[in-house]
Amino acid sequence: MVLVSQFGASLEYEGYKAQMDPLKEDCAASTAATQQDGIPAYAMKSAYTVCANKIAEIAEITGVKPDPSYYQLMIASILCMDKNPQCRMMESSLKKWE
């Protein structure tokens, strides 16, 4: 996942290499889920949620922020897998790009 690799690179650049292992551990399932077919939505939602929470935790500890566009896409994915009503609005606005 681009978000995780870019955030990891930013952590390393800023001198927070020790935070990369927890990031890799908590985001491994979400990265693997994007590379396989047939993963249930509840499993993907859980994996994405764990990863997003770890990114937020590390950002708070280090002050290093993830790319906001990619982070927002991850959060939107979680909301949509949770059938959040806001997802319909996001889906409608994205359809104009088809």
Read off the pLDDT of residues 56-89 as tens digits, 9 standing for 90 and up: 999 999 999 999 999 998 998 898 888 888 888 8
Report, in angstroms and rounded to the nearest whole number, the Rg of the chain calculated over CA atoms: 14
pLDDT of residue 85: 84
Within 13 A of 17's CA, how many CA atoms are on the CB side?
A: 2
Total Cβ atoms within 10 A of residue 91: 11
Q: pTM for the full model?
A: 0.84
Domain ranges of the chain: 2-95
- Whether residue 85 contacts residue 79, with contact meaning beta carbons closer than 8 Å, is answered with no
